Structures are given as structure tokens and as C-alpha cells.
Amino acid sequence: MSDERKLPYVMAFNEAVSQAMEADPSVFCAGEDIGAFGGVFGTFGGLQAKFGTDRVVDTPISEQAIVGLGVGAAATGLRPIVDLMFMDFICVAMDQIVNQAAKLKYMFGGTATLPLTITTAGGGGLSAAAQHSQSLEAILCHIPGLKVVYPSSPYDMKGLMTACINEDNPTVMVKHKRLLGLTGHVPTERYEIPLGKANIVRAGKDVTIVAYGRMVHESVAAAEKLAAEGIECEIIDPRTLQPFDTETVVASAKRTNRVLVVHEAVRFGGLGAEIAAQIQEQAFDYLDAPVGRIGAPFSPVPFSPALEQHYIPDAKAIEAGIRDALMRVGA
Amino acid sequence: MSITPDKQFDLHRRMVRIRLFEEAAGRLAEANRLPGFLHLYVGEEAVASGVCGALNDDDHITSTHRGHGHLVAKGGDFNRMMAELMGKATGYCKGKGGSMHISDLSLGMLGANGIVGAGSPIAVGAAFANKYRKQGQVAVAFFGDGATNIGAFHEAANMACALHLPIVFACENNEYGEFTPRDKTMAITDIVDRAAGYGMPGVIVDGMDVIAVHEAALEAVERARTGGGPSLIEAKTYRFYNHHGVQNLGLKYRSDDEVARWKERDPIFTLEDRMVENKVATRDRFEEIWTELRNDIDNAIKFAEDSPVPAPDQVMVDVYTQKAGAR
């Protein structure tokens, strides 16, 4: 790398947007409080001062119209970035996301192109309770026509956000609220991380952990602890959830013969179920244990820190999941 | 009438094209030759024609589930439309959209829409893009009276006014949301009352009078094009057929007398009478126009019926744009 500059995750996002806007006049941003205020998480900080009110637009609190603004502008030649403040608010805009953005191209026989990026903030850990803490990525991944991206590091954030903006399909970029301040190396130049390519965060031979978003960091903590006992975990961060890099995960499963999938979303019907199904379809004969799944219990996200700590999966739960997978005796 | 004879013929032609397309589609549906749902625009021709007659080719419109009329009025091609209704590979959407998603982006027609109210936020996006590019294009959102009861319409109207966008909200008030009369679903009589709540001018026009619709549209489009912001036009109109399909009389939710009263004010025949009365046209000329356009429809049906169905492997095509962005 040309430099070792460090940036927080939130500023990696900001820089990706800023550089895209410099490079391409058809890129604009719209959302609640993103202009003068810079976004409630500071994600769009300074962009309106730099690019003006025509290109960084404060909107009413109108999630359907915000996404609709993006759909209509994308279909007529612009490259919009529209922000839904919290991931929970996608529910308010679901018609525009699911029935319009995702399907226009297909319904119109391919004639429409929608280079639309929807950005939002997911995940818990801020005592923000049940309507401001959800991990709803599985719902989005279920919709043909959408792409879903969930970076876990500042480096990935900038590269994936750049790819999202350059992408000619509607893409949902999920930022994890608890990672916003996480600092790491981010090159100053513009770069893309291709969508649909997983990252092997840590190589290991004993067990594969598939984790994304903040759960990558909890998984690393668990893996470091187990490494002291000589247990080597391989950690795969898919980075893009739709399309999903099944190939990398299956190849790892064939090497380690044991897999644990970790996510912050509730377990039932979560992405882990799909990943486990894909692994058993493609690597059944290699598995020495059932594919394990760590996720939140089937309840709304609780408010009290005492409850939320218990609710969100952590390194301890992941460690237990790994030990469980390893207890099985290989064939 | 300040509208030139040429323009009157233009508006008439748009309306007759819609009528003939829809009547043909209705006959095909009755004969089980069209798959899926069919929402006919017959009776409302003056609205799409009067408004689209005020637009340029590069202006944008969004449409509704009752969308064939909007595409025809914007210049839609009969062959590709009929092929789409039949689910053929040569259709506008290659057989993937059908009646409810018929569209032609090259004509600025951003799609019929199966979700009531969903077109308005998309029109706001097109209007935003038009303002952003500063090339003087405008967007029109077509929607029905029923759509003004859904949140998406409210959000779109408010946002368009807050951002002062070049857009016209064109309401086709046909007095029924599907099968339920307007007075059971809202406490106001005139949709135009809603305009003030967003801070935009609104006007009621006789939706059976294409000249009146056109004049209102010219004013609203000019306002949008010259930076005057959004407007709402409420066109009082009526669908001659049922919410879907081809039944017109004997419906439980509206009386045959009511249908007959509205049919007396048929927008096409009303215009023809006026043009003859004003010596702008002759009956013979109209007969020639109908004959010519009937011929186009017959050819379109033949084109559609002779066209191939999409190959099964097309299911997975165009879910995503495959080519990466240029940047």
C-alpha cells in the first residue's frame, strides 16, 4: 500500500462518497438530515459544504419518497445515493425497495438500469431498542434484483461503497452502528472491492467461521482465544451478502470440515440458514459436524443494556459454538 | 377554442388510438387470448391524451395499473404493446411485465405500475433528475383518486413541493377505487382540495373534455418547465368498463344509469361533434382516421399472435444489469 493512513469506518464511507461525487457529476445524495447536519451518525459530514445543496439534499422524513426519488432519478440517468437513517426504516420504504427498485429492470424487459445505492445503519448495541437496532439483511437478500453489502472494516467500507456507487443495480449498503468509530488502514486513492467476493480474514485449519458486520470482530476475538489452545479458526467475511460468495465458503468447509455461521440477526430464517443449506448441498460429504448457527434469539431487540448484552451474540457465544462443532468426532 | 386545429386532430388521434387499443384488448381478453389481469382505460382517454399532448418526447411520465392509455398517449407502439399483453418475446418488456408493467423508457414512460400510488415517488425522482440536469424536462405522475389515500402519494406530493420540482400531479378521478365509491373512502368531494395542503396550485377540469384537460396541462407543464414548481390537476372522469375486464353494465357497485350518463359524454365523440360544429373537421375525415387506426390495431394483433413466446432460459435474464459501471 502506498501509505498507512488510518481512517474511522464512518470516514471511509464519507470519503468513498466524496470521491465518487468528484469523479462523476451524476452522483448525488439525498436523505434525512444528511445535508447541513451531516447525517445523524456523521456519515455525510461536510459533503453539502463541499458539493452544494443541489447534490447533497435534505429530504422530508418520507422513506417511501426518498427511495422513490432514488428509483426515478436512477431510471432517468443519475446515480443516486439515498440514505435511510436506520435499517429498521427500510420497512417504511419496502414497496419502493422491493416492488419498484428491485423489479423495474426485469419487469421492463431489461430496458431500465438502476444505479441506485441505498445506505442505512444496522445492528444493535446502542440501547436503541426494537425499532432502531434490527438486522434485517435476510429480508433484502431474499429479493431478486437487489444486492446487499455489509462491510466490517474501514478498508472494506471504502472499497465496497465505491463499488456500490459504480454498480448498475440497486444496492443496499449496511453500515454497522457500532463500527462507525472503528479505525483502520484506508488508502487515500479511490479503489473498489468487487461485490460478491468474500474475504478470508484469518486462515485456519480446524473450523470455518462465516461472519459479517460486527460479528467478524467478535469471531476474531473468539478465534484468538482458541488459538492459545492450538485451535485454528478460519474466518470468512462474505462482505457482500447478495450475491453470496458460496464458492469461497464451500472451499473452506471442505478444508476444515466444520463450519459455524454467525450473525447478529435472529437465527430463525436468518442468512445462516441459507448458508448452512448451501454448505450441506455442496460439501455434505466433507462435514464432520452439522453446520452450526449463532444468532440472536427469536425476540425483538430489547432496550435495557442488561438484556441487550445477553441478546446480541458475542465472542463467548461464538467460542461455545466452535467448541460444540469440534466436540463431534470426525468420520 | 385557442387550441389549433392541428392540435385538436393530434389529441383526437391519441384518444382514438387508446380507444381502439383498449377495445381490441378487451375483445381478446373475452376470447381468452390474453393472460393475466386487464384494466381498461376506455372512458378516460381525454386525460392521458390532453396531458401527454402537452409534453415533449423527452418529458417523463409515471403511470398506473390502468396504464395502456398513458403509453399510447405518449406515443407507444401498438405492435410491441399488443405483443406484451400476450406475453410475447417481441413485447415492450419481452413478455416479463405484461399489462401492469408496460413501459417505454425511450418515450419517457417509466412504467405502468401494479402498486397503487407507487408511481408518484418515482415521478418525483424523474423530476429531481430533470431539475438536476437543467435541460427543462418535466415529469408527470398519473394516478387515480384512490391513490391519493395512500402514503406514497402524500410523501411524493410533499417532497415535490418541498424541493420545488418540475412535476405535474395528474389525478384521474373516476369516482371509484376498484369497486368502492369515492364517498366511502374519503371525506372530501374534490381531490384538488389536497393540493393546498402541500402548497401547490390545483385545478379541477372536466376529464371528458380533452381540450379542457389539455389547456390545464399546458399551464401546469409551463409552470413546471419555467421553475414554478408542482401543480395538481384533477380530471373528473369515468371508466366505462369494470375495474378489470370488459364488463360494463350490470355491475353491483354502480348503476347502469350512471354508466349511461357518463357514456353520453364520451370524450372522443364529444370532441368530434365540436370539431364538426366548428367546421374544423368533417365526419368523413374522422371515418378515415378510425379506419386507418383500426388497420394498425389489426396489424398489431397479427404481429403479436405471430410473435414467438420467450424461451424458458429468459427467466433468469435481466434480473441484474451484468455489465459493470463505466467508472
Over the stretch B98-119, which tens digit does the pLDDT of each residue have? 999 999 999 999 999 999 999 9
Q: Which is the catalytic residue, given A132, A176, A217, A263?
A: A132
Which CATH number is B60's domain given? 3.40.50.970
Chain B residue numbers with beta carbons less than 8 Å from the beta carbon of A74 are 125
Q: Select from B90, B158, B318, B323 the residue whose CB has the most chain A CBs within 10 Å, as the one to mutate to test that interface.
A: B318
The answer to whether A32 faces chain B, any CB pair under 8 Å, is no
Domain ranges, ordered by start, for chain A: 6-185, 199-326
B200: containing domain: 5-307
Domains A6-185 and A199-326 alike in fold: yes
Looking from the CA of A194 toward its CB, the CA atoms found within 13 Å total 7
Task: Report the alpha-carbon distance of residue B259 to residue A134 in Å, rounded.
Answer: 51
Given CB atoms, is A100 within the 8 Å cutoff of chain B? yes
Taking an 8 Å cut-off on Cβ atoms, the answer to whether A72 and B163 are in contact is: no
First to last CA, chain A: 44
CATH superfamily ID and name for A6-185:
Thiamin diphosphate (ThDP)-binding fold, Pyr/PP domains (3.40.50.970)
Query: Mean pLDDT over all residues of chain B?
Result: 96
Does A242 contact B at CB distance below 8 Å? no
Q: Which residues contact A238 (CB under 8 A, 6 or more apart)?
A: A198, A210, A212, A244, A245, A248, A249
Could you give the C-alpha distances from A142 to A93, A145, A242, B245, in angstroms and in order?
Answer: 16, 9, 9, 33
Q: A194 CA to chain B: closest CA distance, Å?
A: 10
The minimum CA-CA distance between A103 and chain B, rounded to whole Å, is 8
| Global pTM value | 0.96
Look up residue B283 and give its three cell numbers.
365526419
Active site residue A132: yes
Q: Is residue B219 part of a domain?
A: yes
Residue A188 phi, psi dihedral angles, 5° rounding: -75, -30
Does residue B92 sit at the A interface (CB-CB below 8 Å)? yes
Contact between B63 and B157 under an 8 Å Cβ cutoff? The reply is no
DSSP A300: P
Domain count, chain B: 1
- Whether B33 is covered by a domain: the verdict is yes
Residue B279 lies in a domain: yes
Walk along chain A (331 residues) and give the pLDDT tens digit of each residue: 456 899 999 999 999 999 999 999 999 999 999 999 999 999 999 999 999 999 999 999 999 999 999 999 999 999 999 999 999 999 999 999 999 999 999 999 999 999 999 999 999 999 999 999 999 999 999 999 999 999 999 999 999 999 999 999 999 999 999 999 999 999 999 999 999 999 999 999 999 999 999 999 999 999 999 999 999 999 999 999 999 999 999 999 999 999 999 999 999 999 999 999 999 999 999 999 999 999 999 999 999 999 999 999 999 999 999 999 998 765 4
In this predicted structure, the answer to whether residue B324 has a pLDDT above a threshold of 70 is no
Query: A145: number of CA atoms within 13 Å, CB side?
Result: 23
Q: For B151, which residue in chain A has the nearest alpha carbon? A: A64
Residue of B nearest to A167 (CA): B325
Beta-carbon separation of A108 and B103 below 8 A: yes
Task: Cite the DSSP H helix spans in A119-153.
Answer: 137-141
ipTM of predicted assembly, 2 dp: 0.96
Pick the residue from chain B with its C-alpha nearest to A64. Answer: B152
Second-level CATH architecture of A199-326: 3-Layer(aba) Sandwich (3.40)
Taking CA atoms, A62 is separated from A26, A121, A279, in Å, by 23, 17, 40
Is the CB of A69 less than 8 angstroms away from the CB of B120? no
3-state secondary structure of B146: helix
